[in-house]
Amino acid sequence: MKKADAVTRFYLDQLPGAKLKNNILQTSCPFCPPGPEQTPGSLVVFLNPESYFHGYFRCLSRCAPGGFPLHFARCKGVSMNLVPGYDPDREPGTAGVDYPVKNINTDIQNFRDRMTDELLARFHRLGIAREILEEMQVGYNGRYLVYPYIEEDGNCYTAHCIHPDRPDDTFWYGNEQFPAERTMIFNGNDIDCCENGALVIVEGEDNLLALKQLGLPGIAVPAATDLEKLDPGRFAWLHTVFLWVNHSADAERAARTLATGLGYKARLIRWPEDTEKKYSLVRFAADRQEHFRQDAFMLIKEARAFSPFASPEKELLRFQERLQQESGENHLTMPSGFAALDQALDGIHGINIVGGTPKGGKSCLFIQIATEMARRKIPVIYYDFENGRQKIYQRTLCRLSRLSAEQIRADNLNDEEAGRLTAARENLRTLLPWFRVVTDRKLTPELMRRHIDFLRHETKSRFTLVVIDSLHKLPFKDFSERRTGIDAWLRQLESIRDEQNVSFLVVSELSRGPDGRYARQPHLGSFKGSGDIEYSADNAMVLLPDWNPFDHGPLDKRINSLWLVASREHNPGKIADYRLDYPFWGFEETKVE
User: Where would I find the beta strands (DSSP E) of 474-558?
Assistant: 502-509, 539-545
User: Which ranges of 278-311 would DSSP assign to H, the alpha helix?
Assistant: 281-288, 292-301
Q: What angle do CA 564, 569, 573 make, to 5 degrees?
A: 25
| CA atoms 205, 209, 211, 215: torsion sign | positive
β-bridge partners, 203: 221
The predicted model gives 389-393 an average pLDDT of 95
Lowest-confidence pick of 55-64, 303-312, 433-442, 581-590: 303-312
Domain ranges of the chain: 6-82, 315-591
The predicted model gives 439-449 an average pLDDT of 93
> How far, in Å, CA of 520 to CA of 526, rounded?
10
Would you mind telling me the total number of residues written for the chain in this entry?
593
539/33: higher pLDDT: 539
> How far, in Å, CA of 306 to CA of 50, rounded?
19
The predicted model gives 291-302 an average pLDDT of 95
Domain 315-591, CATH class in plain words: alpha beta
Considering the four listed CATH numbers 3.90.1170.50, 3.90.550.10, 3.90.580.10, 3.40.50.1980, the one that applies to the domain covering 6-82 is 3.90.580.10
Lowest-confidence pick of 12-26, 205-219, 497-511, 548-562: 548-562
What is this structure's pTM?
0.64
Name the DSSP letter for residue 292.
H
> How far, in Å, CA of 175 to CA of 402, rounded?
73
Distance of CA 352 to the CA centre of its chain: 25
Mean pLDDT, the chain, rounded, equals: 90
Strands 435-438 and 464-469, bridge-based pairing? unpaired
pLDDT of residue 330: 43
User: Which ranges of 231-280 would DSSP assign to H, the alpha helix?
Assistant: 249-262
316-355 tens-digit pLDDT? 888 887 677 556 544 567 899 999 999 999 999 999 999 9
The predicted model gives 109-115 an average pLDDT of 97
> How far, in Å, CA of 322 to CA of 119, rounded?
60
5-63 tens-digit pLDDT? 999 999 999 999 999 999 999 999 999 988 776 778 899 999 999 999 999 999 999 99
Identity (one letter) of the amino acid at 114?
Answer: R
